Structure 1
């Protein structure tokens, strides 16, 4: 591991010495590809037959998973205990939490699993502390809450982002619009752009592919993507997760200091100890998870508003009538005829809809099956 870290440091030093211009674009792209490959070795070391980190194998339950991440002693355990009722040991000294502690929040008919992860330290991505296990669990979350102490330096935010990015987690970003396809036959690197490209060209893309030993492939840019984004697509192991920056202990700072945090996007100020703005935090969590509640209505009966069907995902294709039917039972679509929908997703109430109709939050649906 020390050898890999030394190689990464050498390459980063060379990148810092290299001027950024069109002539050096290909060389910088090559160095970035080398770093990405070395970091992959850090993340997925060869198996040595040892036991995984105790306390980190948590079964995924509920409709969504939210992870609390932060440096030690920022108030994660206190926040977890208040929101879920789960006893997570809290104290005024660092590293109180040593394992991953799960809890469940029942909110607006949905079951949201919340994980209180041990405090990470700077250098976690390089194997320090138990950072690897912590961030590996974070990759499985639908939403990450980075908990910050309002009284501590604001650069802690960037330090945590760096650790997460080192493990292939991209916060509040969408996958790059790059169509990449490996090809078995020869032909070299086919590079095409549907937009004006200012960060990537044929030479840079070819150099990056050569470093990955890709002799033949097709690359089509549908946005002005960077070399880092092309490397992310080639690596294929990146996860794109929404994130909220939860600034805790706001009672300990002045209004002027708090206004500095107010400039951050995706920022939520709270005080866990005094239970300030926890309702606002839950509303932000709900909005970021993009959960859609759909109520069932059996024929001739009133809708069941007690147990909504929760549709997950950020794409419209995950909120369709077909997705709703599959959540109930996959066999329903075999005899599906149409759906009767009440709610904001239709122009008329009720309205007859097909399987591709996109449902909105709190719609009511009645499924009509084929005769016989």
Structure 2
């Protein structure tokens, strides 16, 4: 078995374990990212153009302020459990596990293939008297970027479905609230709007699974809909690139330091890999978080909030509208939750992956010894 395949399988296994452990945080974080909260309107924003009042359509389109995202991460998790049960924390887990296994497997496979080539090139350069035989920082960035791009192109449809399933209840609640407000505007004296809506089957939660999400995405935008958010996701390839640059550089430094203090000893412990993974993911997450928010907004159901001005036609449109209606703060919604979730997930992934690689190598060496003995 090639080391690229070993690393691919180990990455898939580590990714699944990390995903299961941190999935509730990921669900809450996705909802935080897709929650629209308008910044406080300035007096100038009340009027349009040269002081004329906004037209009726613009009034309807004005982004409403909502308080649904009030409270911290723990509070939001408890609220989610209270309203949707424990299952709400794991909405979209099945496609997410498939996506994680595919993403990590594809990423680590191509990463190892390209890493082998980069190391071979570095060794060949050393023979010609160029360099010290090690792969440089820029080369690590290129290797991680190419592997990440291949991963994104192949697995983006899965993550579109996961985002839809994580935010479905949130989107449905917004649509129901809009229906209730519309009925109140038409009939201000109505006594029990929610009761009437339930009778009309307009407030009952609809069943929503993977096939519902597939049908909804295809109905909205056809096959192209499964690659929504592709541009910011491709740009976000710099996230794992930065992550692996920090990780590989730190690992190289640690091994070098260890070999100087303990000649011949270059192994690192699982705990050290855990902390190196955490450090690498922290740096990458802080640097690229705004792009992650834009990606989540594009992949979520666009009817969320039932507001035309908060529906996005593309990456640039999303960025412009977020700046205009929510301010720069909108790009950092839920960053604290994401840092905790992604850093812990990356640490677990790196640690489990390295241990699985060791296990595969140990099993392979054992089978070789058995075969060589039987051959005698």
Same fold (TM over 0.5): no
| TM-score normalised by L of structure 1 | 0.20
Higher helix share: 2
Higher strand share: 1
| TM-score normalised by L of structure 2 | 0.20
